[in-house]
Amino acid sequence: MSYVLNLRCVLCGRTHSTKVPYTCPECGEDGILDVQYEYSAVRGKLNRKVLTQRSEFSHWRYRELLPIDNDAILPRLQVGWTPTYQDDALARHVGIRTLHIKDDGRNPTGSLKDRASAVGAARALSEGNRVICCASTGNAASSSAGMASSLGLRSVIFVPQRAPEPKLAQLLIFGATVFRVQGAYEDAFRLSQQACQRWGWYNRNCAINPYLIEGKKTVGFEIAEQLGWVPPEWVAVSIGDGCTIAGAWKAFREFRELGLINRTPRMLGVQATGAAPVTNAFQSGKPLCPVTANTIADSIAVGVPRNWRKAVLAVRESGGAMVNVTDAEILDAMRYTGRLSGIFAEPAAAASVAGLKRAVSEGIVPEQSSALVVITGSGLKDIRAAQQAVSAPFDLAADGHGLQEALQEQGLVPAK
């Protein structure tokens, strides 16, 4: 880790050496750490000219700002450099001047979590650890298992009872040892923490492992580079544990620090109404108060987010805002995002679109702004939720009887 300087606690501000395992020794589990880099040294190695000459189109192209040794063995799967589209039809529906979509459902296991898991798997291997463990509502688990298997490592995963079947299928296909906990995400997290401590496994829980958020921040690097070094005025990200929005904001801060961009966007944090403890903390200015999560968006159904301080700080530092959206708004966003953009977003991913639409309607985000929504996961991850968002197909007789009537009902052919 040639450019990593130290670790700084976001709670007490103390700095620690990289020998500290996961959280601040002084503050305990609440002392989430942040990786600090020697930016003066990075500045001469990472700039626009250097990046235009690089042929590595994955998140490893930003290796100077990742906590990976130069000789580290990396997962074979290509992570990052997912497409960013401008979508005028969706922009009109949301009510904003310019809208881009960053489709991270195109990552190897179908979600943005691959960015963190790739860093975690590489670090586990370099540390000589053969087993990776985490708790997850689904996406972090499947990405962790996929990255582990690509490096010949084992994975042990704890998921809550509500984890969608497609995500469980992924885990099992990747050879993970899966424990479906008869409880909530918080129960699965507690058990995974205990298992890591007891058996010395690599702890892939992004909420407390400071190195994993470094992988997530690469989504922000890509947004800046893919948009010609001119970030949008707003970036909308859904929030569960808080790691993704914190990582994306850190990327924009670091690129501004290095002179690659001249300004940073405002971050729009989006939570589900039934799981909004980070929004409550942001709006009240008080410490987080746990809630019982109740939302269709399982990937952000987190009642006790561990990284809430970084998330709140990201939104505040950026001059951004936070909004909540109902499950009905999320399902509606799944429908119109797919219909207008051709992108199939899982509920948590569609929440960012729904949140932007709400923020525009409430005057939080001006209609003349430019914005980008991060699609954090593919809709194929949660087919059951997708089926709630759409109507059933037409059942058609083998002889085609009723075909014309159905087409007329859909306005596809003229009425007789």
Please report, for the domain that includes residue 267, its CATH number.
Answer: 3.40.50.1100
How confident is residue 208, by pLDDT bands cut at 50, 70 and 90? confident
Structural domain tally of the chain?
A: 1
Indicate if the pLDDT at residue 1 is higher than 70.
no
- What CA–CA distances, in Å, run from 249 to 170, 295, 366? 30, 25, 20
How confident is residue 103, by pLDDT bands cut at 50, 70 and 90? very high
What local confidence, expressed as pLDDT, does residue 311 receive?
97
| H helix runs in 73-184, sequence order | 88-94, 113-126, 139-150, 165-173
What local confidence, expressed as pLDDT, does residue 356 receive?
98
Burial 380-398 (b: 16+ CB within 10 A, else e): ebbeebbeebeeeeeeeee
Helix, strand, coil % over all residues of the chain, rounded to 5: 45, 15, 40
Question: Does 270 fall in a domain?
Answer: yes
The domain containing residue 340 runs over which residues? 84-110+213-389
pTM assigned to the model: 0.94
What local confidence, expressed as pLDDT, does residue 226 receive?
98
What local confidence, expressed as pLDDT, does residue 138 receive?
74
What local confidence, expressed as pLDDT, does residue 164 receive?
80
pLDDT digits (tens, 9 = 90+) for 61-91: 999 999 999 889 999 999 999 999 999 999 9
Which residues neighbour 51 within 8 Å (Cβ) at sequence distance 6 or greater? 61, 225
The token pair at 67 is 């906590």
Question: Does 237 fall in a domain?
Answer: yes
pLDDT digits (tens, 9 = 90+) for 369-405: 999 999 999 999 888 888 888 888 888 889 999 999 9
Nearest of 272, 240, 236 to residue 160 by alpha carbon: 240
Question: Does 190 fall in a domain?
Answer: no
Question: Does 370 fall in a domain?
Answer: yes
What local confidence, expressed as pLDDT, does residue 287 receive?
93
How confident is residue 101, by pLDDT bands cut at 50, 70 and 90? very high
| Burial zone of 165 (CB within 10 Å; 0-12 exposed, 13-18 middle, 19+ buried) | exposed
Indicate if the pLDDT at residue 21 is higher than 90.
no
What local confidence, expressed as pLDDT, does residue 30 receive?
87
pLDDT digits (tens, 9 = 90+) for 290-340: 999 999 998 999 999 989 999 999 999 999 999 999 999 999 999 999 999
As beta bridge partners, residue 303 has none
What local confidence, expressed as pLDDT, does residue 104 receive?
98
Question: Does 63 fall in a domain?
Answer: no
Question: Does 220 fall in a domain?
Answer: yes
Indicate if the pLDDT at residue 240 is higher than 90.
yes
Question: Does 37 fall in a domain?
Answer: no
pLDDT digits (tens, 9 = 90+) for 24-35: 999 988 899 999
Contact between residue 372 and residue 101 where contact means Cβ atoms under 8 Å apart: yes
Average pLDDT value for residue range 133-154: 91
| Percent of the chain whose pLDDT exceeds 90 | 82
The crossing angle, in degrees rounded to 10, of helices 243-257 and 218-226 is 50
The token pair at 296 is 């269709």
Indicate if the pLDDT at residue 224 is higher than 80.
yes
Between CA 151 and CA 161, with CA 156 as vertex, the angle to 5 degrees is 135
pLDDT digits (tens, 9 = 90+) for 243-275: 999 999 999 999 999 999 999 999 999 999 999
Which residue would you say has higher pLDDT here, 167 or 36?
A: 36
CA 384 to chain CA mean position, Å? 21
Q: Which range (81-90, 124-133, 182-191, 258-267) has the least confidence? A: 182-191
Question: Does 410 fall in a domain?
Answer: no
What local confidence, expressed as pLDDT, does residue 227 receive?
98
Q: Region of 324 please: left (phi>0), alpha (psi -120 to 50) or beta.
A: beta
